[in-house]
Chain A
Amino acid sequence: MQSSESTSSPGFGAVLAVLRADACDERTVAYAARLAALAGAPWHAVLVENAPMRRRGEAARLRTLELLRGAQAQGAVTTVLEGRDAAAVISAYARRHGCATAVLARERASPWWHTPFARRLARAAPGLDLVEVAAPASSPAAPAAGLAREAHADATPAPRRYLAAVGASLGTALVALPLLPLLDVANVGMLFLLTVVLVAIRLGRGPAIAATLVGFCALVLAAPRHRYDVSEFKYTVALVVMLAVGWITARLTSDLREQAQSAIGREARTRALYEFARALSVALQTEQVFEITRRFLARSFDARAAILLPDDAGRLRWPGPGADADGKAPVLSVLDMAAAQWAFDHAAPAGAGTATLPSNPYLYLPLLAPMRSRGVLAVRVPDVAALLVPERRELLDAFAALAAIALERVHYVDVAQDAVVRMEGERLRNSLLAALSHDLRTPLTGLVGLSESLTLSRPPLAAAQMELAAALRDEARRMSTLVANLLDMARIQSGGVKLNLQWQVVEETIGSALRACRWQMGARTVATRIPRGLPLVRFDATLLERVLCNLLENAGKYTPPGARVTIAARADDGQLLVSVSDDGPGLPAGREDALFEKFERGQQESSISGVGLGLAICRAIVEAHGGGMRAWNQPDAGACFEFNLPLGEPPPLPDADLEPHDTTTDKHEH
């Protein structure tokens, strides 16, 4: 009947543990887990729920569900399936999930008319390997008997239902038996059957069988007084048929009733989910999601609930006061918050009804959305045992998932709105800066050009006027540098600057900076010390030229004519270091760092123009490149400003007609 005992070829697919509320199921789960681990395969544990299963009673069912959760803890995918024909349902599940091996407990000796489940499963799924796990060798019967007893005790119905059933049957007897002489026994039997059907529908299977037996007895007792002697055989047949039909009807009807009830339950759960989803779909704010979740959990579970959201650091925040309209706001203690935090951090449920902190009155469900955990749903139900029932837990999980998705959607609505606002702000800022830039530069261009025209005018100006015109021109140029600095600072400070990063040759940028501010250096000599073979560095050439210009201009401003200014560059420890030093009076001691603050100047009130913006913008630009900037006084004389830029992985060089670099240091002066 079963194939391959032990490990035949489990490596080809998943392992399926089939739980059937049997005593051996613990061993089934353990065996399946071991098998799956050996084969390195995933494994599933399924429980089929149907009428026969339910008849075993609630206690047995809870025990099986406990097993299922145990399996889940060991890494199994667990499911509760519904279906009249357990073998067919499991075979379909195995096919769908690629299960190659099914593990199930060996059944106790069953009566000859009962096909063992393993054989039925083998018939339904010919391709599935079956492994039957034997009952424990020590005391095979004991647990089974215990369970059977328990199941039986559990199934003991309320005596009132049996009384009602017996009463109904006796009532039927009172009405029908006097009619016996008038009607055929088969017809009277039909009256009893009618009663049995009604009892089965209203009161269930046990009472229906009781009603059948009572009716049967009544007819047997009533028979001899009338025509028992006339056609004894006919009467007997009718009675037996009635008994059989009553029995079968009772079973069928009660099965149908249970299925209907379970369908109603499913329908109610589906409706609850549907209504919850519909209510959430219109929520646009986090508070609305909170409110809707609270309302539906109260309605569906009679539960008190709260949603805990994390702050930016991932710590859950205390729920706000007045969480519930009727003042039933859940009060969470410090311990509860720790449990909630655990659930959030591990993205796993904690608290009541779980393996983690089960004594906690709350159940904490992480709100897992597609992108990340959005928070924790804390639920407190009046009856913790209800959380163990899989339908309830599944419903609760589905609620949590819906709330999580709603929270994520709300989050992205916020993100989108923020982005729109930021884009608007950026556009406004950029157009403002562009307008400012144009409006400030245009008159400056006129000033520079017109003052220069004065110096070139014919006939030439007298010496004094010529000097004035040249001063006008130089001041206008200085003003234009200031404006450029101001605008750059505004752009960088507002975060609106987009670096045009390119792999640059340092020497080239130093050269163009020197050319750009040659006029500001006046009668100072500038020397460069740039070793050949410096690696390419990635930076925004325009901005770095501004840094160098500002440093040179600074040197030009604070050193006497005839001073020496040196620009040096070197690569060291993954950094490019560029320094601008001079042999002037140096920096005010102890204020080297303060120089880089906006509007800071070395000499508080001096005749030298400038608002001290230059160094602040240098530092801002260098830091935007991921570098840093420092200043110090040199041991002998003068100030030194140095900045570093990180060296990256330079791009590949062009084809091969490169010549070998030599690393001698060039020293040039002019």
Chain B
Amino acid sequence: MSIEPAAPVALIVEDEPQIRRFVRMALEGEGWQVHQSETLKRGLIDAGTRTPDLIILDLGLPDGDGLQLIRDVRGWSPVPIIVLSARIDEGDKITALDAGADDYLTKPFGIGELLARVRAALRRQHKAGGEPSARIVFGRVEVDLHKRTVQRDGQPVHLTPTEYKLLSVLLANLGRVVTAPQLLREVWGPSNADNGHYVRIYMGHLRQKLEDDPAQPRHLLTETAVGYRLQP
């Protein structure tokens, strides 16, 4: 079967056949060429030989911790990695994200969610190669990174320096979850690692200024106990 050479390659590392099956169906529907690995060992080999454009990785594999694969792959490739994990393991998610995973999905997850995360990861990767865009638009908000201005409905919005810094970190990871420890590190510096409430307070300020309904945000989303995501 001959596929057009442009078909991107995805690698699914997951021990559960039914989950593998519907993830594969979903990706193939989007034009992906999909490889599957059942074990960590096999996954490590495939990640090297198949040179995938995307890796979908279950953290709980029978023969080892998926973290190992993230660290291994990050040694030589920036390929997007999306992690599958159970709800109660917030700590695992943060560890995986900090180890270099791009995003995560909590089981059970829908196909819509899966494809949205995949698209966001790819978009980011393409952007990383090209010229970073100076103007970013989400919802009714427009941010000009060169002029350092923020407008909502065409009206300028005043942000404090800390708020702007927080927003710019989220913008740099558009669509991707940023862990709370990482935000603290990048905005407040490494000495504030224990002040998790700083991030929450300032996210609240940003929502007040940028969201239509701060209690039901559409863009500045909270990933409970993990971090934040700026959804375009």
Contact = CB atoms under 8 A, between A and B. Distances in A.
A191 interface: no
Interface string B164-193: 000000000000000000000000100010
A92 to B, nearest CB: 56
A315 B213 CA distance: 60
Nearest to B221: A515
Considering residues A515, A545, A670, which has the most beta carbons from chain B within 10 angstroms of its beta carbon?
Answer: A515
B92 to A, nearest CB: 11
B109 A445 contact: yes
B109 A502 contact: no
Interface in B90-109: 90, 107-109
Interface stretch (A234-242, A372-380, A451-459): A451-459
A486 interface: no
Interface in A43-89: none
B87 interface: yes
Given A441-B108, A508-B204, A659-B205, A449 B18 contact: yes
B90 A542 contact: yes
Given A438-B60, A502-B196, A503-B197, A542 B16 contact: no
Contacts of A658: 201
Interface string A367-411: 000000000000000000000000000000000000000000000
Contacts of B107: 441-442, 444-445
B197 A507 contact: no
Contacts of A487: 88
Contacts of A437: 86, 88
A505 B202 CA distance: 10
Given A508-B203, A657-B161, A657-B162, A668 B18 contact: no
A515 B228 CA distance: 13
B94 to A, nearest CB: 12
Considering residues B29, B90, B110, B195, which has the most beta carbons from chain A within 10 angstroms of its beta carbon?
Answer: B110
B32 interface: no
A269 to B, nearest CB: 59
Considering residues A500, A502, A508, A670, which has the most beta carbons from chain B within 10 angstroms of its beta carbon?
Answer: A508
Given A443-B18, A452-B110, A542-B90, A528 B195 contact: no
Interface SS of chain A? helix
Nearest to A518: B216
Contact of A653 (B90, B109, B201): B201
A173 B86 CA distance: 111
B204 A446 contact: no
Interface stretch (B19-27, B38-46, B75-83): B19-27
Contacts of A444: 107-108
B85 to A, nearest CB: 10
Given A449-B23, A541-B225, A503 B200 contact: yes
Nearest to A651: B197
B22 A512 contact: no
Interface SS of chain B? helix
Nearest to B91: A500
B195 A511 contact: no
Contacts of A442: 16, 19, 107
B23 to A, nearest CB: 7
Contacts of B208: 532
B27 to A, nearest CB: 11
A445 B16 CA distance: 10
Given A651-B197, A653-B201, A657-B162, A446 B19 contact: yes
A179 interface: no
Given A453-B25, A512-B224, A655 B212 contact: no
Given A449-B18, A542-B224, A528 B86 contact: no
Given A437-B88, A502-B196, A505-B203, A515 B216 contact: yes
A528 B213 contact: yes
B125 interface: no
A24 to B, nearest CB: 69
A487 B72 CA distance: 34
Given A444-B108, A514-B215, A450 B225 contact: no
A508 B200 contact: yes
Nearest to A510: B215
Nearest to B213: A668
Contacts of B111: 449, 452-453, 456
A526 interface: yes
A393 B114 CA distance: 82
B113 to A, nearest CB: 10
B160 interface: yes
B163 to A, nearest CB: 8
A487 to B, nearest CB: 8
A451 to B, nearest CB: 9
A536 B215 contact: no
Interface string A479-498: 01000100100000000000
Contacts of B60: 438
A230 B189 CA distance: 119
A509 interface: yes
A268 B224 CA distance: 72
A159 interface: no
Interface string A650-663: 11011101110000
Interface in A620-656: 650-651, 653-655
Given A442-B16, A450-B18, A511-B217, A541 B224 contact: yes
A666 interface: yes
Given A438-B86, A449-B19, A502-B197, A528 B204 contact: no
Considering residues A504, A511, A670, which has the most beta carbons from chain B within 10 angstroms of its beta carbon?
Answer: A511
B108 A448 contact: yes
B89 to A, nearest CB: 9
A664 to B, nearest CB: 11
A507 B16 contact: no
Given A536-B197, A668-B215, 13 more contacts: A449-B111, A450-B22, A453-B26, A473-B110, A504-B197, A507-B214, A507-B215, A511-B215, A541-B225, A650-B197, A653-B198, A655-B162, A657-B160
Interface of A: 437-438, 441-450, 452-453, 456, 458, 473, 476-477, 480, 484, 487, 500, 502-505, 507-512, 514-516, 526, 528, 530, 532, 536, 541-542, 545, 567, 650-651, 653-655, 657-659, 666, 668, 670
21 contacts: A441-B87, A441-B107, A442-B19, A445-B16, A449-B109, A450-B18, A456-B111, A503-B197, A503-B200, A504-B200, A508-B203, A511-B217, A511-B222, A514-B216, A515-B217, A515-B221, A528-B215, A651-B197, A653-B201, A666-B215, A670-B216
